[in-house]
Amino acid sequence: MPKPLDPKCQLCAKMPTSKAKVLHGLEGDGCWNPNVCHNRRSFYRHRSDDKSGQIDKIKVEPPATYYAVLYLYKEAGDKPLHALSAELWLGQKPVCRLEPIHCFGLTAGKIRAYTDQVLQAFAKQYGISLPQYKDMFEISPTHCPVRPCPLNPD
């Protein structure tokens, strides 16, 4: 049975020799062996050229359907919503984006009504039916893209 591939050597083979010698040589972790490493790096770089034992790959485009996603900028748990944004996707690509807004002073009811208006605007713009968001992602408010922002003063 063949010896398993070494992930460390796989990563090392992708970098230039000079960088690999520094990282793995005497100043680094000390695993660089000039008698072995040049051949091993060549093996790892060119092993994908050897088609024996590999499985064929095909690419099939997924169906292009519209869906909306909602981005909520908030702390984990039962914390208030800092900001929100939304995107409309067609298949694997975003086609329309709602610029992020701060939610300061908005009640839960007003936020729900606003996100419903966003869905209706996406649907009207593209002549489609969007009954709900396909997914919601919670993002830390420290990544809020709205400027100016109390969390990210410029």
Q: What is the pLDDT of residue 138?
A: 92
Q: What is the pLDDT of residue 154?
A: 65
Is beta strand 66-74 parallel, antiparallel or unpaired with respect to 93-102? Answer: unpaired
Q: In whole angstroms, how far apart are CA 137 and each of 55, 71, 74, 76, 81?
A: 35, 5, 10, 11, 12
Q: Which tokens sit at 48?
A: 């994908």
Name the stretches of the chain with pLDDT < 50.
Answer: none
Per the CB < 8 A criterion, the answer to whether 102 and 146 are in contact is: yes
**pTM listed for this prediction:** 0.61
Provide the pLDDT for residue 66. 95
The pLDDT value given to residue 107? 94
